Amino acid sequence: MARKYFGTDGIRGRVGSAPMTPEFALKLGWAAGRVLSPEGGGKVLIGKDTRISGYMFESALEAGFAAAGVDVLLVGVLPTPAIAYLTRTFRARAGVVISASHNPFHDNGVKFFSDEGRKLPDEQEEQIEMLLDESIEYAEPEQIGRARRIDSAQGRYVEFCKGSFRSERSLKGLHVVVDCAHGATYNVAPHVFSELGARVTTIGAEPDGLNINDGCGSTHIEFLSRAVVENGADLGVALDGDGDRCILVDADGSVLDGDDILYILTCSRLEEGSLKGPVVGTLMSNLGLELALRAKGIEFERANVGDRYVLERLQASGGVLGGESSGHILCLDRTTTGDGIVSALQVVAAMVTSGRSLRELLGGMTKCPQLLINVPLNGQAAPAVMDLDNVKQAVQNSQAAMGQAGRVLLRPSGTEPLIRVMVEGQDAAEVQHQAEAIADVIRSVTH
């Protein structure tokens, strides 16, 4: 069925505009409670990032679940992957995250995890959407859900992250700069790295409800690059607002994206003999990653953009490693969902074990020039714009000009009102020219 509310990563929008209103959140909580705990009873776990609107949506969702007869466990500000983990440990029916990930503070969203700590299957999201069009049917007064706060949640998650790093290893002697994006990891990530022995310099860890992702974190990597060089650190870790993705910085300030991280982790798992199945990237993954892995005899598959599709492909193929160039990495031999802290620790473990720097660990992979341009839609529908004859012709012209030496991909963002134009090839100037040509055509239509 066509989705009205759910995108590739839950429901998301500008606070105060449909669907991100407290009225909608209350009904969403009720609908989700009915679907995820159809017989009533049970419990769900709710966490959030540092956006000021999180308080409002937390209360509304709590009321909705209670109206459906479902108990609520409130864990406060914690990263998205922490909710996935804690949902399993508390044997909850589902986990709920109030976050808009890497978006600015004026956006917010809601996403769900199953009782196994995985994104909900399409069927359950569709069932929730169907109930959103119905009137609320309240549980009997004696069956209304209760709510309580879990004070131990943060400590539990810190220990889980540390447990993904082998106990015989230590970060002693490493200086790490951690950028928390003024988001959900601000009071977790520094503890994880310091308790494992690293010297930690923390930036982006003073949230005020309005500054999440503002000029920092994985979407503004220049902040971390500068801090790593100025502090003479060995590496930097940039997390996004809800902590499910990371971008790394080498000692010289150079940036390693998700493709680089995936290559390092794959080579590390291959060397230690623990690599299973194919490695899964997305349509946006750099061609250089695919070529480098195949040169080592490693099968590489591409899924649609979105971590849920990477996860589906890994589960179907028996693989354990996958991810997106944005830094959303899946290490299924460590956890069930994308986790920025855990992913970074796996790379640092490869550094510690091999005695090599991040740049040295990248030996063997040469990226093809790739350019991504985000074009705002200005209120227009992405499918309608992409289906226009002049837009389709622009894509065809660019692909013809690139030939077999390049790739052109046009797709709507699943989380923002944007069309993403990606062009990849062997000649950087030609890539730039073709990407701008397509983007200009789209801009002429959307303006």
pLDDT in tens, 94-108: 999 999 999 999 999
Query: Would you say 298 and 320 are in contact if contact means Cβ atoms under 8 Å apart?
Result: no
User: Using CA atoms, how far apart are residues 304 and 284, in angstroms rounded to an integer?
Assistant: 9
Query: Would you say 417 and 377 are in contact if contact means Cβ atoms under 8 Å apart?
Result: yes
Non-local CB neighbours of 403 within 8 Å, separated by 6+ positions: none
Q: What percent of the chain has pLDDT over 90?
A: 89
User: For 55-79, what is the mean pLDDT?
Assistant: 98
Residue 52, pLDDT > 70, answer: yes
pLDDT score, position 166 = 86
pLDDT score, position 415 = 74
Domains along the chain? 11-153 (3.40.120.10), 164-254 (3.40.120.10), 256-343+354-361 (3.40.120.10), 370-446 (3.30.310.50)
pLDDT in tens, 279-306: 999 999 998 999 899 999 999 999 998 8
Residue 90, pLDDT > 70, answer: yes
Q: Which helix (H) or strand (E) holds 392?
A: helix 389-402
pLDDT score, position 2 = 67
Out of 99, 101, 268, 285, which one is annotated catalytic?
Answer: 101
- The alpha carbon of residue 57 and the mean position of all alpha carbons in its chain are separated, in whole angstroms, by 20
285 noted as active-site residue: no
pLDDT in tens, 259-280: 999 999 999 999 999 999 999 9
User: For 317-330, what is the mean pLDDT?
Assistant: 96
Query: Would you say 337 and 113 are in contact if contact means Cβ atoms under 8 Å apart?
Result: yes
Task: Give, in order, the Cα–Cα distances in Å from 89 to each of 41, 45, 79, 294.
Answer: 18, 11, 16, 38
Query: Of how many residues is the chain composed?
Result: 447
pLDDT score, position 447 = 82
User: Using CA atoms, how far apart are residues 323 and 326, in angstroms rounded to an integer?
Assistant: 8
User: What would the two tokens of residue 315 be?
Assistant: 């589960």
Q: Closest Cα to residue 324, out of 350, 345, 305? A: 305
Task: Give, in order, the Cα–Cα distances in Å from 91 to each of 37, 86, 88.
Answer: 13, 8, 5
pLDDT score, position 40 = 81
Q: Is 92 helix (H, G, I), strand (E, B) or coil?
A: coil
| pLDDT band (50, 70, 90) for residue 247 | very high
pLDDT score, position 1 = 58
User: For 234-256, what is the mean pLDDT?
Assistant: 97
Least confident stretch, 40-44, 110-114, 211-215, 332-336: 40-44
pLDDT score, position 43 = 97
| pLDDT band (50, 70, 90) for residue 8 | confident
- The alpha carbon of residue 394 and the mean position of all alpha carbons in its chain are separated, in whole angstroms, by 31
* DSSP conformation class of 270: H
pLDDT in tens, 371-400: 999 999 988 899 999 999 999 999 999 999
pLDDT score, position 16 = 97
